[in-house]
Amino acid sequence: MKQIDGKDSQTLVNKLYDIQSIDPEFFFRVRLNAEGKVECLFWRDSMMREDYKIYGDVLVFDTTFRTNKYNLICAPFVGINNHWKNTMFACAFIGDETTESFVWVFETFLKAMGGKHPISIFTDQDAAIAAGIEQVFPSSRHRLCLWHLSKNANSRFGLLKSDKNFKNAFYKCLSGCITPNDFEETWKSMINTFKLEKDDWFNRLYGLKEKWCTSLSKDFFFLPVYFLHKEVKVQTILLVLKQIKVQH
């Protein structure tokens, strides 16, 4: 479990109280360990809550940022506004990637937002996050973000990275198939052609196909949320946390 040590921890909490004195609607919660050190932190300001009331039907929970001093997960909650620009609803620092920690963050998010559940939540492919969503947001549709899938897949392609035919087939499976039959045929052909029948990652991905395949997800409004990650700025996330530097 990663945590923020003594002096930095107190400095951070004092800063949040200072902000709350200026913005009475500023909300934050801190989770301490047995030694009194911060292991999880959540915050949102009054404008973020107002934005969530309007634009919170679709929520992206991004855990791809890390702090370079404590290696904490910096996890913003992001959405899309009426100008198709990203807008941040809240942010959390998390000490580990356990279901327990994600449940704490999600429950705190719900409390901060007056109990409003999103219609759809987009995340990366993480079993602990999925378990937390199922427990806290049972009525929300959990979908896997195509941007994350593409990034994770690139790290697993190996020699196939340079194979144009493979990449075309894979990206067609992600978002280029029109019907479920089209997807099944394309996926089967890709797996057989490139001998991926025993690849655990692709087998797990297929088992989650209802959470990411666009041809299987036409029962709800599917926003192209993977564009969010081209615009998210670390400086925005850390506006009130200047003493903790973050890198992507």
The structural domains of the chain, with segments of one domain joined by +, span 6-144+221-247, 156-216
Q: What percent of the chain has pLDDT over 90?
A: 41
- The pLDDT assigned to 4 comes to 56
pLDDT band at 167 (very low <50, low <70, confident <90, very high): confident
Give the 3-state secondary structure of the chain.
CCCECHHHHHHHHHHHHHHHHHCCCCEEEEEECCCCCEEEEEEECHHHHHHHHHHCCEEEECCCEEECCCCCEEEEEEEECCCCCEEEEEEEEECCCCHHHHHHHHHHHHHHCCCCCCCEEEECCCHHHHHHHHHHCCCCEEEECHHHHHHHHHCCCHHHHHCHHHHHHHHHHHHCCCCHHHHHHHHHHHHHHCCCCCCHHHHHHHHCHHHCCHHHCCCCCCCCHHHHHHCCCHHHHCCCCCCCCEEC
Going by pLDDT thresholds of 50, 70 and 90, the confidence category of residue 219 is: low
pLDDT given for residue 235 in this prediction:
47
pLDDT at site 244: 38
Residue 207 confidence class, pLDDT cut points 50, 70, 90: very high
Q: Is 82 exposed, middle or buried (0-12, 13-18, 19+ CB in 10 A)?
A: exposed
pLDDT for 239 equals 47
pLDDT score of 179 = 92
Q: Is pLDDT of 241 > 80?
A: no
Model confidence at 162: pLDDT above 80: no
What pLDDT is stored for residue 43 in this prediction?
Answer: 92
State yes or no: pLDDT of 184 exceeds 90: yes
Q: Reply yes or no on domain 6-144+221-247 having CATH 1.20.120.
A: no
pLDDT averaged over the chain? 82
Rounded Cα distance between 165 and 170, Å, is 9
The pLDDT of residue 71 is 72
> Per-residue pLDDT for 211 more than 70?
yes
67-110 pLDDT, tens per residue? Answer: 556 678 889 999 888 887 888 899 998 988 899 999 999 999 99
The model's pTM is: 0.81
Q: Indicate the pLDDT class of residue 152, thresholds 50, 70 and 90.
A: confident
Of residues 205 and 3, the one with the higher pLDDT is 205
